[in-house]
Structure 1
């Protein structure tokens, strides 16, 4: 049975991804900061809750130790936790605002991946999925035919560009893994103010990459339709 750990999985895309993977037989470990919400979400799906705050070294280490003690190994890691950060006039953005977004969306990916790599190395077919965004793609944000070109989100976009580059570099360093970045597209969540396609549709790219074949692509940014430009 495939064991999958998902960060930020108590709501929205993370919760839907957990639901879909439980349905197809994965043992899902639902990671979340809030114990009450995390326990409730996990219980509703038949998953196991593991507390984790991706901004805290001790919390992440404890989560990895928890999985080591209970499951012993990990097949799929989905780095889903993320924040939008400050949105508004560029004059308002500060270094502290940028640091907050990077701490969750980028440093959090490195922190969690580092802690879980020993468990992933015990898998016959280890997989890492980093939830990125088309808003971090130079190609999509400069294409007038794409919705990504209609928004200005400097902090979030810069962070997601970093996530995608991290993904390509980790894929190079981990040739026995499948390491890819998922773009859910404009999904109706708190991030978008309810605009976009359904959470079920947004989760499709994440689920597809979480269930990728051992000989599947690696180092790619993909949405539910296929590869995207960086």
Structure 2
């Protein structure tokens, strides 16, 4: 097995995921660029490689059990372990609907990627993360998933009552704590990252922050020292309320 850290970022061919891959590559890690479409993943990996980063495309549809199993087998065969997993892939499907106008089917589609897929991918790769000296799992969440923040009528997200997206990120936060609690007696740390309101394809490039800024907290959590926190929710500015 190589000495360099092996890091997998899902949804890494663009946006915040790409910048997380770039940031981890800058630390010397070998970055597996997870992407649904082989061509897009290859293009992103080649772009990173042009900057001197060890980047390898990995075809991975996080919602497809067959694809996830195949990706896990590839990681095991080619690397033997996984040091870092960043569950970044996500969707925002709402277009201004009020909670009372949100169809259940939209919730199901949102949860399929933002929640269920994280469990699917994490379960498939956890045996390889257990082989790492100090495994790290980072789930890219959102301040919109914080009940403490969104329940404040004067808070920054009061104007974004997105039932499907917000609740999926709240559920993701609960998933994060569940894995962290299971793994407390190991050297694996599991945390959630809030990248802030970044301009990406997810929101029609409406956010004031850049993807580069959004990636900072995830990279920080993916490279925590052994005495770092677990079961916590962080933005770039520090701890956030669940």
Could you say which TM-score interval applies, normalised by the shorter chain?
Answer: over 0.9
Deviations 1:83-133 (A, max 9, x none): 002223335422211110000000000000000011001001011000001
**What SS class does the counterpart of residue 106 from structure 1 fall into?**
helix
Aligned mates of 2:223, 2:77 — CA distance in 1: 24
Residue 7 of structure 1: which of 6, 10, 18 is its match?
10
User: Which residue of structure 2 lines up, in the alignment, with residue 208 of structure 1?
Assistant: 220
Return the offset for 1:152.
1.6
Aligned mates of 1:149, 1:113 — CA distance in 2: 31
C-alpha contact (below 8 Å) 1:183/1:223 kept by paired residues:
yes
User: Which residue of structure 1 lines up, in the alignment, with residue 124 of structure 2?
Assistant: 115
User: Which residue of structure 2 lines up, in the alignment, with residue 82 of structure 1?
Assistant: 90
C-alpha contact (below 8 Å) 1:186/1:192 kept by paired residues:
no
Q: Which runs of 5+ in 2 are unaligned?
A: 50-54
Deviations 1:128-155 (A, max 9, x none): 0000011010111123453222212110
User: Which residue of structure 1 lines up, in the alignment, with residue 179 of structure 2?
Assistant: 170
Aligned mates of 2:149, 2:208 — CA distance in 1: 16
User: Which residue of structure 2 lines up, in the alignment, with residue 26 of structure 1?
Assistant: 29
**What SS class does the counterpart of residue 150 from structure 1 fall into?**
coil
Aligned mates of 2:68, 2:203 — CA distance in 1: 28
**Superposition RMSD in Å:** 1.1
Q: Which runs of 5+ in 1 are unaligned?
A: none
Q: Could you tell me the TM-score, scaled by structure 1's length?
A: 0.97
**What SS class does the counterpart of residue 148 from structure 2 fall into?**
helix
Deviations 1:180-215 (A, max 9, x none): 000001111122332221111111111110111111
User: Which residue of structure 2 lines up, in the alignment, with residue 52 of structure 1?
Assistant: 60
User: Which residue of structure 1 lines up, in the alignment, with residue 193 of structure 2?
Assistant: 182
Aligned mates of 2:104, 2:130 — CA distance in 1: 36
User: Which residue of structure 1 lines up, in the alignment, with residue 231 of structure 2?
Assistant: 219
Aligned mates of 1:200, 1:191 — CA distance in 2: 15
Q: Could you tell me the TM-score, scaled by structure 2's length?
A: 0.92
**What SS class does the counterpart of residue 222 from structure 1 fall into?**
strand
Aligned mates of 1:196, 1:155 — CA distance in 2: 22
List structure 1 runs of 4+ shifted beyond 6 angstroms.
none
Return the offset for 1:225.
1.0
Aligned mates of 2:203, 2:129 — CA distance in 1: 33
